Amino acid sequence: MFDFSKKILAFALIAGAALSASAQPAIQPTVDITKVPAAAQASPQFDTDAATEAYMGMMPPAAVARSNAYFEGGYWLILWDFLYGVAVSLLLLNLLWSARMRDMAVRVTRYRWLQPLPYAILFVLADTVLGFPLEYYENYAREHKYGLATQSFGPWMGDEFKELLVSLVIASIAMLILFAIVRRFPNSWWIWGAAATMCLMTILIAIGPVFLQPIFNSPKKLEDPKITAPILRMAHANGIPTNDVWQIDASRQTTRMSANVSGFGNTMRITLNDNLIQRGSPEEIQAVMGHEMGHYVMNHISKILMFFLILIVLSFAYLFWGIKWALSRWGERWQISSVSDPAVVPLVMLMVSILMFVLTPINNSFVRMQEKEADMFGLNASRQPDGFAQAAIHLGEYRKMRPGPIEEFLFYDHPSGYNRIHSAMVWKSQNLELFKPSTEQISKP
C-alpha cells in the first residue's frame, strides 16, 4: 500500500501556499451595460451587424484580453486534465497500488459481493489525493488569479471535503452494483452495466436540486415579486408547473452568474444564483430565465439522457472489448485476474478518459446545439433581446467572445458571445414593432 502520509504532507504544503494566494478582481465593463447602445436602438435604420458590434464594443480591451486568456488557457487544461488522469491511472496499475487496495478490501470482508465497497473508498481517497495538485491549481489558484472566485482557502477546502464525501457515497453504490452485474452476467455485463449506469445518472439528475445542491449552497424561495412575477408568467405561459422561484447563494464561491430549471416532476425547480439577481437587470434576468425554461419545455433533459444512453452503451461495448484485450497483455503484471476484480477500476478510468477526450468535440457540439435552441426559445419567450445581449457580455467575463469557427466547434459547449448577441439582434430586427423608437435604455429599478 502506498504511503498516504507523504501525500498528505504534500497536500499540507500546497494548502499553506494557498493561504497567500492573491485574487485579482474581475474586470467589469467600464460602461453601464444596462444601456442600449445607439446602434442597437430600435429604428427604421436598424442594422443587425452594427448593433452586434455596438454591444461587443461595450467590453473594454482589458476585459477582452483577460477573458480570452482565461478561456484559451482552458483549452490546455482539457489536455492536462486528460494527461494527468492517464498518469494517475497508470501509476495505480503499474506500481500495483490498485492490486494492494484490492487485497486490503479482501482482508476487510470475506464476502466477495461486498469487497468493492472498501475498494471504492480506498480508490476515491487515493484518486483525490493524487489529483489534488491539479484540482488546487484549476479550481482555486487559477479562479482567484482571474478574479472569478470569492472563497478563501478554508471554505474552499470545506466544499472540497463535501465533494469527497458525496463521491465516496456515489462511487461505493455504483461499484457495488456494477461489479455485481459483472459477476452475474460475465458475457453480457456491458449491456446491463450500461442500463444500470443510465438509471443511476437519471436518479442523480432527479435528486440533484433537492438533495445534492443544498450540500454546497443554501437554496431559498425568492420572495421579490418584481423578479418572480415576470418569471412565473413566462413559466405558466409555457406549461412549466411551478409557483415558486428559488435562489442560491453562489456568491459565497464565485462571481459567475447562472440559473437553471432542473429536476424531474416534484423535484423540478427554477433557480437563480444571487449573482444574477444582484448584477443583472430585470430584462437580463428574464432573458436568462427564458433560456433556461427552453431547456425544460424542449425536453432537453430527456434528449441529453438519450444521447448519454447511446454514448454509455457504446462506451460499455468499448470497455468489454478493451478490458479483455488489456488484461490479456498486462493483467498478470498488474495482478488483475479478470474484469470482476475491483483492481480493474483504474484501467476502466483510463479507457474512459481516452474515449471522452477523443469525443470532446462531439459532446460539445451536441450540448451547443441544445444551447442554441434554448437561446431562440428564450428570445421568443422573454422578448428581451437587449437583456440577452447584456447576459452575453456578463458571461464574456470568462468566455472568449469572438472565437474562430474551428475553435468554437472544438472547444465551445455554448454558442460564443458574439453569435449569441448577433442572434439576439437578428431577432430584434425581425420584431422591431415590439420596441418603441423612443426607447433609449434599459434601466434598473
Q: How far apart are CA 318 and CA 188, in angstroms?
A: 13
Three cell numbers, residue 61: 480591451
CB 441 within 8 A of CB 36: yes
| DSSP string across 237-259 | HTT---S--EEE-GGGTBS---E
Catalytic residue annotation:
292, 375
- Confirm or deny that 291 is annotated as ligand binding: yes
Reported as type and span, the H/E element at residue 298 is none
Reported as type and span, the H/E element at residue 19 is none
**Closest residue by Cα to residue 442 from 382, 399, 361:** 382
CB burial string 90-108: b at 16+ within 10 A, e below: eebbeebbbbbbbeebeee
Reported as type and span, the H/E element at residue 263 is none
Residue 257: count other Cβ atoms within 10 Å of its Cβ.
23
Contacts of 341 (CB under 8 A, 6+ apart): 102
CA distances from 173 to 116, 168, 170, 176, 307 (A): 9, 9, 5, 5, 24
- Confirm or deny that 236 is annotated as ligand binding: no
- Confirm or deny that 371 is annotated as ligand binding: yes
Reported as type and span, the H/E element at residue 238 is none
Task: Indicate the angle between helix axes 4-18 and 116-136, nearest 10 degrees.
Answer: 30
Angle at 231 between CA 226 and CA 234, to 5 degrees: 135
Residue 210: count other Cβ atoms within 10 Å of its Cβ.
15
Residue type, 400: K
CB 99 within 8 A of CB 343: yes
Q: How far apart are CA 235 and CA 227, in angstroms?
A: 13
DSSP state of 149: B
Per the DSSP assignment, residues forming a β-bridge with 149 are 254
3-state secondary structure (DSSP) of residue 345 = helix
Three cell numbers, residue 163: 465533494
Q: How far apart are CA 391 and CA 376, in angstroms?
A: 14
3-state secondary structure (DSSP) of residue 112 = helix
Task: Tell me the binding residues.
Answer: 291, 295, 371
Task: Tell me the binding residues for Zn(2+).
Answer: 291, 295, 371
